[in-house]
Structure 1
């Protein structure tokens, strides 16, 4: 339905989620946060879904939180304190959900990705953006430092570049976002959806069990020191080697044939 806040299509193992609130630049309203969290949680348990694409309808990917909705929260007797704390906790939970999903998540970005919208891009495992897309953690321009977006941003790009964006509120284009490592690459607007799907199809064609193991280990090792990371990933690779389909994949490579994965 066109009036659905989140449109979902699952084809050939790829789930494409489209935030569908274009008149509000796909702002992360309470309803949008709930819809994304519910759908991603459901997809996490679906063994037939191997990759997830997250996109936005209309001229923007996501413009961050719904400021009008946030301002309405001030009407509460506590001035909005409980609501604001709950809002940022729910948003933080969504951002933390994405890295722990078993499937890789690819952001398909166009127009603008600002504040919590930029946070959403940074939280995804990969991102492809249309040329001309603008990115910013620009809350400081209205007196609200983007402290929660800062968490994802500083885990994607260098500290000095991140701090400059956070304190100046300036925007960067897709080319600069690529240089900084916020996105994988920029492509022409008219090829954005096709390029993103091609990346998703490439990943979906791999052994799903191996990709799931690898994604989990990718984030786990990033939190460890060097020795711990090697010890942990060594155990992960040993477990991976014991999979029936990994054995089949190696044999197929050696015998120059396609693997017969279950």
Structure 2
């Protein structure tokens, strides 16, 4: 597994791990570890997850990957604070390319990836769940692609979502921005 937080001198504050990795009996558990930011997918978190998945791909001891989120939610999607701090088309394109590469890494991983969702999974967080091979969710989990509520069409989650739930259900989620609960997610 890669170093997930850079070493710091003793006097400097410790950078928290944005991704925790634990392995036992062929199961590697990866935990998005930004609970204070609702596990928003920052560029740092996406880079750590992508690097870890690339290493796992070559590790024959790993038979399955379980992806979860620390704290009260699975993931609220892209880190909007980071996006606002780095505005501009080039920065957004770079971020979305990074996200697309991460999602492709999940689909290309030889081991199955299981999303273990709870709380909410919205926008790119919903995309992350939809990209995984399987998903399990706590009864109170809610899913949404709410970009339309602020004038955005969530085109990147559209691909994974339409593959996971079908075109019409995906379009309903994408065009309304409405939350669906875990029970409805199972139905579609």
* Superposed counterparts of 1:34-113, under 5 Å: 34-74=47-87, 80-113=88-121
Runs of 4+, deviation exceeding 4 Å? none
- The CA distance in 2 between the partners of 1:144 and 1:35, in whole Å, is 27
2:137 matches 1:124? no
Task: State the match for 2:155 in structure 1.
Answer: 147
- The CA distance in 2 between the partners of 1:164 and 1:128, in whole Å, is 22
Task: State the match for 1:136 in structure 2.
Answer: 144
2:185 matches 1:171? no
CA RMSD of aligned residues (A): 1.2
Following TM superposition, by how much is the alpha carbon of 1:158 offset from its aligned partner in structure 2, in angstroms? 2.2
Task: State the match for 1:4 in structure 2.
Answer: 17
Cα deviation digits, residues 11-58 of structure 1 (max 9, x gap): 001000000000001000011110100111111111101100000000
The two structures have a TM-score, normalised by structure 1, of 0.65
- The CA distance in 2 between the partners of 1:16 and 1:144, in whole Å, is 33
Cα deviation digits, residues 132-158 of structure 1 (max 9, x gap): 100001111112211000010011112
- The CA distance in 2 between the partners of 1:139 and 1:44, in whole Å, is 32
Cα deviation digits, residues 103-142 of structure 1 (max 9, x gap): 0000000000000000000000001000010000111111
- The CA distance in 1 between the partners of 2:52 and 2:144, in whole Å, is 26
The two structures have a TM-score, normalised by structure 2, of 0.91
* Superposed counterparts of 1:24-35, under 5 Å: 24-35=37-48
- The CA distance in 1 between the partners of 2:147 and 2:45, in whole Å, is 20
Task: State the match for 2:12 in structure 1.
Answer: none
Task: State the match for 2:11 in structure 1.
Answer: none
SS in 1 for 2:29: strand
- The CA distance in 1 between the partners of 2:165 and 2:131, in whole Å, is 12
Is the radius of gyration larger for structure 1 or structure 2?
1
SS in 2 for 1:7: strand
